[in-house]
């Protein structure tokens, strides 16, 4: 298992944790994790990389070892703002190779169009964009958000890290016990007062986003991307099925990017970097080598 070091940077007023697997600086990757995940989740993928990549992976605000915002809600544009500062701090002199999973894929996809000159290549792992919404949904969405603000969110407590690992394996039948135990130690922390183990993430992430997602706005950002894009889906993606996106809708979203290659990973669910890290690593390296 490749060793990683922790770096902490002040990013837009928050103490941000960045995990760094040191390697050849001329071969550098930035990895962006998904919702309710942490940077250490990429350990298996990093271990599977054949070349000596220099890899940086932040914990998003309110996740892992990064500071919680202190607000009662998290706003999607803040991830884009945080990413912009992070890349400027670590690699200001040249475009970056960016890989994002799920939430990280959605953030990375938008950023690739918003700052096209900053991205050399972008790999989108299961970042499908958000569901289509309609303006008439706004009143109920705001009402739901107001109601959720009335009750402080929290996490259930697990008796031990082993119990949390049990839950992770229950959610993903492909996850080995060794990997589940590793993830449990990074996803969880001991609760204050000795109340078992709880997730490290700020429970405020559970609140519904008050504002509606706009597919037309996302598409406008995607269409400005000039970097080549690799779009990777899992053959048995629970997220794709839950979003009920038709093949035609997915094809339309992919078509918004000017230069896009598409690949499906067999025998994998949404957490494809846990299920098939060797396949995903090979796809990434082959894509970057084709530059």
Per-residue pLDDT tens for 179-231?
999 999 999 999 987 779 999 999 999 999 999 999 999 999 999 999 999 99
Claim to verify: residue 116 and residue 101 sit in the same structural domain: yes
Claim to verify: residue 86 and residue 127 sit in the same structural domain: yes
DSSP code for 45: H
**Whole-angstrom Cα distance, residue 52 to residue 46?**
10
Domain hosting 163: range is 156-200
What share of the chain in percent tops pLDDT 90? 97
Asked, for residue 205, whether it belongs to a domain, the answer is no
For residues 236-251, give the mean pLDDT. 94
Claim to verify: residue 277 and residue 245 sit in the same structural domain: yes
Q: Could you read off the pLDDT of 249-277 as tens digits, one per residue?
A: 999 999 999 999 999 999 999 999 999 99
Claim to verify: residue 134 and residue 179 sit in the same structural domain: no
**Whole-angstrom Cα distance, residue 167 to residue 145?**
28
Burial class for 113, CB neighbours closer than 10 Å (0-12, 13-18, 19+): buried
26-65 residues labelled b (16+ CB within 10 A) or e (exposed): eebbbbbbbeebbbbbbbbbbebbeeebbbbbbbbbbbbb
Claim to verify: residue 190 and residue 215 sit in the same structural domain: no
Claim to verify: residue 162 and residue 52 sit in the same structural domain: no
Q: Could you read off the pLDDT of 118-139 as tens digits, one per residue?
A: 999 999 999 999 999 999 999 9
Handedness of CA 215, 217, 220, 223 (dihedral sign): negative
Asked, for residue 251, whether it belongs to a domain, the answer is yes
The radius of gyration of the chain's CA atoms, rounded to the nearest angstrom, is 18
Claim to verify: residue 74 and residue 98 sit in the same structural domain: yes
Angle, in degrees to the nearest 10, between helices 76-90 and 103-114: 70
Number of domains in the chain: 2
Q: Quick one: pLDDT at residue 195?
A: 79
Q: Quick one: pLDDT at residue 290?
A: 87
Claim to verify: residue 138 and residue 234 sit in the same structural domain: yes
Claim to verify: residue 169 and residue 36 sit in the same structural domain: no
CATH label of the domain that carries residue 284: 3.40.50.1820
The answer to whether 182 and 43 are in contact (CB under 8 A) is yes
The last residue of a domain, from among 144, 175, 200: 200
């Amino acid at each position: 298992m490749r060793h990683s070091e922790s770096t902490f940077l002040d990013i837009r007023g928050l103490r941000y944790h960045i995990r760094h697997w040191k390697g050849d600086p001329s071969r550098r990757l930035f990895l962006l994790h998904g919702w309710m995940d942490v940077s250490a989740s990429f350990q298996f993928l990093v271990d599977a990389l054949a070349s000596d990549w220099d890899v940086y992976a932040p914990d998003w605000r309110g996740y892992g070892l990064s500071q919680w915002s202190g607000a009662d809600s998290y706003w999607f544009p803040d991830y884009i703002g945080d990413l912009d500062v992070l890349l400027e701090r670590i690699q200001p002199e040249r475009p970056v190779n960016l890989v994002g999973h799920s939430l990280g894929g959605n953030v990375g996809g938008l950023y690739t169009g918003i700052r096209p000159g900053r991205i050399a290549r972008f790999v989108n792992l299961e970042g499908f964009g958000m569901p289509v919404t309609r303006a008439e949904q706004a009143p109920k969405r705001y009402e739901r958000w107001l109601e959720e603000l009335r009750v402080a969110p929290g996490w259930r407590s697990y008796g031990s890290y082993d119990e949390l690992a049990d839950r992770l394996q229950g959610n993903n039948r492909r996850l080995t016990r060794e990997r589940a135990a590793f993830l449990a130690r990074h996803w969880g922390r001991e609760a204050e007062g000795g109340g078992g183990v709880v997730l490290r993430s700020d429970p405020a992430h559970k609140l519904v986003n008050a504002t509606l997602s706009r597919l037309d706005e996302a598409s406008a950002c995607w269409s400005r991307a000039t970097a080549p894009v690799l779009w990777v889906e899992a053959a048995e993606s629970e997220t794709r099925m839950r979003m009920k996106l038709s093949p035609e809708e997915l094809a339309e979203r992919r078509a918004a990017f000017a230069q896009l290659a598409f690949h499906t990973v067999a025998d994998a669910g949404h957490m494809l970097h846990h299920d098939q890290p060797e396949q995903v690593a090979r796809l990434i390296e082959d894509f970057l080598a084709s530059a």
